[in-house]
Chains A and B, each alone.
Chain A
């Protein structure tokens, strides 16, 4: 084993040496969420700076973290979600951000930066990319047929067993994300969404279990197409994904109408944050890209295309009417006040949380 690790160390040293060599080249390795930027953005940046961009995508924070935690990922810029970034900062894998290198830093929405600081003290390691909420996507017609004129902007749809039972036949999809969904359940039950108490967790688990038989599945992306073609009628999911599903349903023209609602009980707000790994070979190029994203034109382009909100005040005049005017993307101040963030948990609590989640999922 000792010999083996020596061998592995030398291989790592070799790759590190080669990336140091590559640092002179004008290159940038970005690892971002899939479908999270407008298609022309990267080539615009390349033309402007002459830096060649290698743009890879992932579809879950877990995949990103697995790569980052093995070390020497080779990426210069990654975009994890707040609670994940919080943990990763503890592991010391990010370099601190020098905001004086970013001439467009002043475009950022300062009230949102304050909220982000709950994940990243003083915004020292990150610059926000976009933000959004977790809420309810539903099929207007199917819900009306089963619930009548009851307003659908409530978590009763998925957490009140009497109501969820009525929706069981048309299908309820729940995000497969233990920490996020449990914090929404805790908040619904009137408890602290970031509680690490076992008895609180037990109450949230019981709440989920009481409704479990009425859920079709737990999945983090399947609801996008399922909502659009009427396979399911309610999903607890990310706002941008549900709005994407809405436009897909419109395009398909099958008469399916999907709507997104931020539940009146309040829900979770998340931030995806740009961060530079400490071992990034092209840090300067990464700074240039962050600055490019903070330009009002780029930020507005992203928001108009991906249907997520950007925390960029200067970009707001450039946003399309159906984006800035959509309360599902840019909610009113009153709704914003009810949003909470989900903080990273201790490793010990993570384990019991995940066990509770497995029990809910498998219906044990």
Chain B
């Protein structure tokens, strides 16, 4: 048995040595750490540009989806695993502010951003990009009947059995779409969002667990293999269908319904407890720089917050940025989110 104990000790020692070498507390002073969600992406070129400009090495740590990432940050508030957090969106913003996650920082680049994106007067968080959650439809399925124009159209029996949405308790676009219906139909009056969802249920709405299952499993457009021609996705999905088409296509197979889009702004902030605040500021400035901003449409399929950035041609040709997207005060979302999700479930699932 001693034969087994010896390798174990060796293994533990080696593991300890590796830990000290590769991770844990021993990050060199010239490193800045970014905590983000699984959808974050940065090209090697942009990473190199950041290091060339600041002398800092960027270390990216991904922690699941946006909700999971924010909740991990809340659990480690004051004793964070990174210096900067990127990717908290409108729906989780209040939770992160309530937990006092961030140090205020007013970047000199703020003036160049689209007006109306910023959400915190104290500058604890800074908008980096935005995306619109919109209904997408399969163009081929709407050759004989017109595609829906508004959210209300979906309750029309003509569109029975055509829609797939995501469960708001497990999916970020699903939650955004629920908020869009609440912002559209309201909580008071003769026809509230609850009446609307009861009608959607009567109209045979299908609910998928997440975006992947809805878009690839249930949706019929683009790469989808399902039989539902209307899906909750993003305003940037049709350009993505062109960019990642196979074989190349001249026209997107899907299109966006611009009514009832919900705008999700993604923010970044310096985590309280950072070991290197000046490095964290440099990283936040970099996230707002032209070098990073110009690649976000093609890497993450979101729209840059920096107004001077030109969109790639596919984004100009194959989608429309909603002119009047729906929004909601993050504090109102935080105060009601759990109740709304529970009420939604009792209307749609039970």
A, B bound: no
Q: Which of A's residues lie within 8 Å of B, judged by CB?
A: none
